[in-house]
Structure 1
Amino acid sequence: MRRALILSALLGLLTGCAGTPPDPSGVWINQAAIDAASKSGKLREALLAYGPNLEWRLDSKAQKASFSNGFELGEGQLSHDPNDKKHWQVAFYGSKQETLAVDGKQLLQTASENWPEQRFSRPQETPTAQAPAGASFQHALYGAFLKGTWIIKEGQGQGSKVSFQPDGRLDGMPNAERYALCLAGDCAAMSGDNDSIWLQQGRQGREYLFQRNDDKLELFEAVNRAQSDEMPEYNPGRRVWLLERD
């Protein structure tokens, strides 16, 4: 009788575990987009191909889920069906809903009416609880896309060594101490098919269009072709800098 009770308890425990999908809590980033951008040098093209979502932050205990696409932050409620052994559901305001699942070392976001299938990985560096949404993706992207030491071959500061830090600091670039890569939103709309970067010194800054081919980085003036009452439409102007990776 005692053995039967123990077996019954074990079966109940196993059944309960089998009905709970793996806990996805934590931060997940779109590593595929980072890898594609770093390899090709085409940032916007990679984000469009592997996006639009760039980062998920999940907390199963608090039943919270949020995503970042580089411009917007979406927040929803995280839950799972007791009869579903694999998937988690994220419900947003209204009827919008997304499905997530832990697939080995990746987080799978299944295809839906809103978004295509996407896969996410854990960031190499553990983010702090105070880090803003999207910060882990940005840090990983910045550390890969423009990594290393660059030499100014043409333009102001010729011969100087430049380094783009993962936290957005910029060392060695004339009249610039911070930078930001355009990921989405208005800057992307204004730049069209071009990649753009923001360079800033103190409170002053401006955008440049850029092309990165392997170890060569060209920065161009962003020339506005739109009318004064229209949204800016930037096209490459004269080349301002040519940098080569050391």
Structure 2
Amino acid sequence: MRKALVGLSTLALLLGGCASNPADLDVSGTWINQAAINAAAKGGPLREALQTYGPNLEWEVNTKASQARYYNGFEVAEGKLLSGKPGAWSVDFYGSSATELKRQGKQLLQVANDNEPEQLFARAKDPAPEGAPLGANFERTLYAAYMGGDWKITDGTGDGATVQFQADGKVAGLPGVDRYSLCLAGDCASMSGGYDSIWLQLNGQGNPWIFARKGKQLEIFQAVNTAQTDEVPSFTPGPRQWLLEKK
């Protein structure tokens, strides 16, 4: 009888070891679209990578409050989180079709529906400071992967200088610029047509610019507005201001 009890105890331990760890099914926290970042980091057009693996860039899921929010580059949408099967949740966006979220290993899977394709998200390795707005984790990680490192100005004002684009949006070494912001989606994208655009500023004052990334080369052009004064701005590349090469 004692041997049988020992056997049952051993079996229970084995079965317990095979059971899923609840942490493996937890969807709480902040998740970023790492696939889009990885694609952009290869050095091609930014918006092409975002459109291929987006459109959503960051999720914030709070299971205790039954809330979930996502950021798509220009707006934040908030919905009510409803529990489904273990590790699966449904997000109701008040009138829109529900979005299903579930764990897939270490990733968060947004299940494809009639409105959006399947998308995968991962936890940010270098989280934004506490209190940062939704989307900050994605932007910091993207900026580090896409713009990080040392760049040398090989043509343009400041020729020969080393430029650094920081993950927090600061710029060092680019004449007349102390901060930057990449256009991810929304009005800035529609106004620049099929071109990538970047906002460059100094002491709080700035303008949009057009840029083109080709591997280790980064070209920044003046943004020329071809629209009439009473029309929505429409920017195209003008004279090239800088050519930078990644060291």
Question: Per the alignment, in what secondary structure is the counterpart of residue 209 of structure 1?
Answer: strand
CA contact (8 A) 1:41 1:145 kept: no
> Which deviates the most, 94-103 or 27-36?
94-103
Matches within 5 A, 1:164-243: 164-243=165-244
CA contact (8 A) 2:26 2:87 kept: no
What's the counterpart of residue 69 of structure 1? Answer: 72
CA contact (8 A) 1:223 1:237 kept: yes
What's the counterpart of residue 34 of structure 1? Answer: 37
Q: For 1:218 and 1:147, how far apart are their aligned partners in 2?
A: 15
Deviation digits for residues 141-169 of structure 1 (CA, Å, limit 9, x no counterpart)? 00000111111111111111100000000
What's the counterpart of residue 115 of structure 1? Answer: 116
Deviation at 1:95, TM superposition (A): 4.0
What's the counterpart of residue 49 of structure 1? Answer: 52
Sort the Cα spacing of 1:109 and 1:243 in 2 relative to 1 into closer, same or farther, 3 A.
Answer: same
Q: For 1:114 and 1:157, how far apart are their aligned partners in 2?
A: 47
Sort the Cα spacing of 1:172 and 1:73 in 2 relative to 1 into closer, same or farther, 3 A.
Answer: same
> Counterpart of 1:140 in structure 2: which amino acid?
T
Q: For 2:129 and 2:223, how far apart are their aligned partners in 1?
A: 35
Deviation digits for residues 34-65 of structure 1 (CA, Å, limit 9, x no counterpart)? 11111142101111111110000011111110
CA contact (8 A) 2:128 2:140 kept: no
Q: For 1:191 and 1:137, how far apart are their aligned partners in 2?
A: 22
Q: For 2:213 and 2:112, how far apart are their aligned partners in 1?
A: 31
CA contact (8 A) 2:25 2:87 kept: yes
Identity %: 51
Deviation at 1:129, TM superposition (A): 3.7
Q: For 1:241 and 1:144, how far apart are their aligned partners in 2?
A: 21
RMSD of aligned alpha carbons: 2.0
User: When the two structures are aligned, how many residues end up with a matched partner?
Assistant: 232
Q: Do structure 1's residue 24 and structure 2's residue 27 form an aligned pair?
A: yes
> Counterpart of 1:60 in structure 2: which amino acid?
T
Matches within 5 A, 1:74-93: 74-81=77-84, 84-93=85-94
CA contact (8 A) 2:217 2:245 kept: yes
Question: Per the alignment, in what secondary structure is the counterpart of residue 150 of structure 1?
Answer: strand
> Counterpart of 1:139 in structure 2: which amino acid?
R
**Structure 1 spans left out of the alignment, 5+ residues:** none
What TM-score do you get using the length of structure 2 for normalisation? 0.88
Q: For 1:185 and 1:95, how far apart are their aligned partners in 2?
A: 20
Deviation at 1:226, TM superposition (A): 1.6
CA contact (8 A) 1:78 1:88 kept: yes
What TM-score do you get using the length of structure 1 for normalisation? 0.89
> Counterpart of 2:48 in structure 1: which amino acid?
E
